[in-house]
Structure 1
Amino acid sequence: MYKKLFSQTLIYGLSNVLVRVFPFFLTPMLVKAFGPSKYSIYADFYSAAGIISVLLTHGMETTFFRFFQKYKENKEKQNQVYFTAMTSVFIVSVVFLFLGILFKKPLALAFKHPDEINFLVWFLFILAADAMCAVPFAKLRIQNKAIYFASLKILNSILIFLLSVILIFWIPKQIETQGIGYLFFTKIYNIDYGIGYAFAANLIASIFTFFALLPTMIKGKYSFNIPLWKQMLIYAWPVTIAGLAGIVNETMDRQFLKYLLPEGDADIQMGIYSAVYKIATFIALFKTAYLLGVEPFFFSHASDKNSGKTYATLMKYFSIFSALILLFLVANLDWIGRLYIGNPEYWVGLKVVPIILIGSTFLGIYLNLSIWYKLSDNTHYGALISGIGALITIILNYIGLKYTNWGYWACAWATLLSYLVMMLISYFWGQKKYPIPYNYRKLIFYIGGSSFLSLIAYYTSGNLWFRIILGNLFFLLFIYLTTKIEYKDMKVFKEKIKKFRFKK
């Protein structure tokens, strides 16, 4: 069981790293070519992408997992679950795309980008195409086709990266130096689009992925079951509310910056904040890779006798690795951040990154804990918890941006406090509704200890080298203490492996 989980998580993990590596390296190229004001256009649209994507998929990925496993003895019913979920997403996406194009001018005005209507239309197609691929991708995951899933995700990411580099950097250079394709490019290329070509690159990649998934989409006998669809919607709507609330916490702070700060200052702060926020990708990589592999695992082993103990063990090791990643990143933030973001205009924002990283760590723990309301078919509890978190985010962002001069510091602290509250509520409520024997003392030590040491290491001194040395000393100390605490469990684990090999 663990071997299967590890192999799938490894595939998902490696693919997730590669998928995120290309956008991760594209960001410093974009921020170097464009200042915070120009980059904020790109950041602005994609900060809204999350909430729109949640609405388009309306919880059908998680719902598909649940209902597919529910009817695991009935292949015909599983087929109905798949096509019902996919059709639901397709209908919503097509309606969204039609209305978006119909009202593109007022929509661009509402976004405060009336001159970027072309970018908006490309963006609408990207969101619709990606949403339509969501359920087919979920089908690949539940069928354990991890390599196929990973290959398509990686190809999509590579295409976005290469096309962005070609459209934004290579073609302008050929025009400037009268190089390869000079005469052709001068006729079709619009230099004024600038960062807008990043949207064009994404659109081409999304269309490619859609057609690559067509065999998966159409495989099987089409069947849309309306009674089943109603049941799935009942399960899905709380998941959607929880997803919306989660996106409010994760990306909507950029929108708060745009609407609550003066126009010129808003563009600069949004650009800086969005760029340095990318450093949290290191934690997001591990979190996403783990959850991609573990979510189907949780559902498929829910009826096992020792499932609770298994979930608790997985949580413990997830918290250890999360804590180590957090402490290492904060300890080395000064040189990693400057190396990653080569444009000094953005470096002022690095000071807020430890707060962002701690918040992202709390989010990972919360997502791990959230399995209790999914397994017990009480997804409305998740909606309520995420709603509380979103309310905290909205209130703190509004107060912090409207009545203080904190700027993006208010956004970072609001995110951290929101995830902290969500994590604590989910833990205590989950233990009452769906008890899992977590070792809470160890969880407090690993996550709380790592967060505390990170804050001390980074904010107690203004000297760069002192922060780096102190942070890495804390990191080594943390490794030593963790090894000492977990030595007994590791020894037992080794003995089990030896016994297994002997029996074999």
Structure 2
Amino acid sequence: MSVKNALVNLTRHSYIYTISTFVQRMLGLIMTPVYTVYLARETYGDYSLLYAFMAFMNVVYLYGMDVAFMRFYYSDRFKKEDVYASAFWAVGGGALLLSLLIHGQAPYLSRVIFSDATYEWPVRLAALILFLDTFSNMPYLILRVQERSVAYSVARILRFAVELSLNIWFVVVQKEGFLGILYANALASAINILILLPIQWRYLKGRFNAAAFKEMARFGLPLIPNGLAYLVIEMSDKFLMDRFLDRETLGIYAANYKFGTILLFLVSAFRTAWQPFMMKTAREINARTVFARVMTYFTLMGVVMVVAVSFLLQDILTLKVTDTFSLLGERYWPGIPVIPIILTSYLFYGFYVNFTAGVYILKRTRLMFLFTGAGAVVNIGSNFWLMPAYGMMGAAWATLLSYLVMAVLLWGYNQRIYPIPYEYGRITGLLVILVAFLGVYYIFEPGLLYRLALLVGFAAVLYMGGYLNKTVVGQVQSVLRFKK
């Protein structure tokens, strides 16, 4: 496969996945203004703490079987149906045991998560949601590994529509508050399982293959500590902020952090397409050249998104739709300055995802924990150092430092075991441009008109630097014309 066709194929699927990821994550962005109106800041803090726990447990529930399934789906040694059935029943059995354990230990977990034993019912609802989400997420793996990006996106959009409707019903109409979010999530997951049943029905006819499961477990289990370390980076700031500062500050920070995850739309969509693409492309003679070019284009897209969102989002969030309503409740505006830092953090996380090529292709996943673990250590240490002195901004900088360390360490290891000829000059130039424009944003705090003028200047700098040349434009046109 030529470099151009490989890039067009990856970009096309990433583009479609971006749409579904955007719509999926729009639930959080759409509901954040509603939550900031209908939930007190302390209650929003409760919501953030419980969902941090659920994100942490989601890694344990899957224990690497999602990635392992995609890795062994292409194996000639096992039937595809057996690979899926083995992963499905192994994950399902584990999910049942874990949910029963959480249900039984709800009083204890309530004290651990909230420092309060009265949150037993939310914890038990979390156990139910984790169980249902495990089963509802499995069919998406089939669509990903078959590169059925359109079907994947349609299914995700349906899930979004159902959950959004249920959120509005429980939170706005029924005024169930924090519990309403959990009820909506649980019902949406159950409905999603039924909708996706036809997709996986053929694969569920496969048999549990002990040999396939053993190999998948050997590949996937080392990803558990890696995933948990990643979630330490994502979630430790919330728990530490609840201890170092207060739950109201946590509520402000968490609401604005949500908008900082806009770049995660790009990273998540890219990763969804990247993993199966990487495994297939690794067989091609020009694979490393393709991977290098992917990194350059990813950096360009990421830098453009960070600068554009940083310069425009503040005015969008604070725009008064009515006399009393804005997209971000006025009580939460003090947290807006953390957003550009969080955006930049996810740019470095995207670099980390790019640098996983050698580790996955050569099956070195057992070492992933070392890099993510280093990021987790940096995160906790930085939060202890920066949060008491700088509050929310300190927590945001700790997140950025963590992802930067992860990316640099994994890059160094990847280049040793699987050298890729990255375009270092072009990538460095883009990062210098990013730092310069964000520096202007923070130091001078320009008004809207000045920021719009700066965005024009930003585009001009990219053009003069050769980043927006005919090759890039042609690449975009090829993606739009490409038919699989």
TM-score, normalization by structure 2: 0.90
Match of 1:476 in 2: 456
Shift of 1:62: 1.2
How far did 1:80 drift? 2.0
Superposed counterparts of 1:107-256, under 5 Å: 107-112=109-114, 113-171=116-174, 193-220=176-203, 221-256=205-240
Deviates more, 1:195-204 or 1:138-147: 138-147
1:64–1:135 contact (8 Å) kept in structure 2: no
Structure 2: segments with no counterpart, 5+ residues: 320-325
How far apart, CA to CA, are the structure 1 residues paired with 2:468 and 2:432?
Answer: 22
- 1:331 aligned partner, one-letter code: F
Give me the whole-angstrom Cα distance separating, in 2, the residues matched to 1:342 and 1:431: 43
Q: Which stretch shows the higher mean deviation, 329-338 or 121-130? A: 329-338
Question: In structure 2, what is the equivalent of residue 12 of structure 1?
Answer: 17
Distance 1:417 1:491, change over 3 A: closer
How many positions carry a matched residue from both structures? 466
SS class of match (2:419): coil
Aligned partners of 1:298 and 1:39: how far apart in 2? 39
Q: Offset of 1:286 from its aligned partner?
A: 1.5
Distance (whole Å) between structure 2 residues aligned to residue 380 and residue 412 of structure 1: 29
Residue 323 of structure 2 corresponds to none
Distance 1:271 1:411, change over 3 A: same
Amino acid at match of 1:215: P
Which whole-Å deviations, capped at 9, do the CAs of 1:156-183 have from their partners, x for residues lacking one?
22111111111221245xxxxxxxxxxx
C-alpha distance in 1, partners of 2:273/2:408?
Answer: 24
1:96 to 95, 98, 104: 98
Q: d(CA) in 2 for partners of 1:67 and 1:491?
A: 36
Q: What residue in structure 2 maps to residue 299 of structure 1?
A: 279
Find the counterpart in structure 1 of residue 332 from structure 2. 346
Deviation readout 1:460-488 (Å, 9 max, x if unpaired): 135xxx25444444433332232233369
Structure with max Cα Rg: 1
Q: Distance in 1 between matches of 2:429 and 2:199?
A: 45
CA RMSD of aligned residues (A): 2.4
The unaligned stretches of length 5 or more in structure 1 are: 173-192
Give the alignment partner of residue 46 of structure 1, picking from 48, 51, 54: 51
Partner of 1:366: 352
* Alpha-carbon shift at residue 446 of structure 1 (Å): 1.1
Instruction: Give the ranges of 4+ consecutive aligned residues of structure 1 lying more than 4 Å apart after TM superposition.
Output: 491-495
Correspondent of 1:326 among 306, 315, 337: 306
1:383 equivalenced with 2:369 (yes/no):
yes
- Asked if residue 23 in structure 1 is aligned to residue 4 in structure 2, the reply is no
- Of the three residues 64, 67, 70, the one matched with 1:62 is 67
Tell me, what secondary structure is at the counterpart of 2:246? helix
Answer yes or no: is the 8 Å Cα contact 2:16–2:153 preserved in 1. yes
Q: Does 2:279 correspond to 1:278? A: no
Map of 1:400 onto structure 2: 386
Q: 8 Å contact 2:128–2:186 — kept in the other structure?
A: yes
Per-residue CA distance 1:417-474 (angstroms, 9 max, x = gap): 11111111122221111111111121111134213421x1222135xxx254444444
State the alpha-carbon separation in 2 of the partners of residues 366 and 487 from structure 1: 22
Select the residue among 420, 430, 437 that pairs with 1:446: 430
Change beyond 3 A, Cα 1:487–1:244: closer
Which range moves more in the overlay, 311-320 or 1-10?
1-10
Deviation at 1:266, TM superposition (A): 1.9
User: Is the Cα–Cα contact under 8 Å of residues 57 and 134 in structure 1 kept in the other structure?
Assistant: no
1:195-230 CA distance string (max 9 Å, x none): 211110111001111222223344233322223222
Alpha-carbon shift at residue 4 of structure 1 (Å): 3.2
Structure 1: distance between partners of 2:94 and 2:126: 16
Cα distance in 2 for residues equivalent to 1:448 and 1:422: 20
CA contact (8 A) 2:167 2:184 kept: yes
CA distance in 1, matches of 2:180, 2:467: 52
Q: Give, in angstroms, the shift of residue 36 of structure 1.
A: 1.0
Residue 87 (1) aligns with residue 92 (2): no
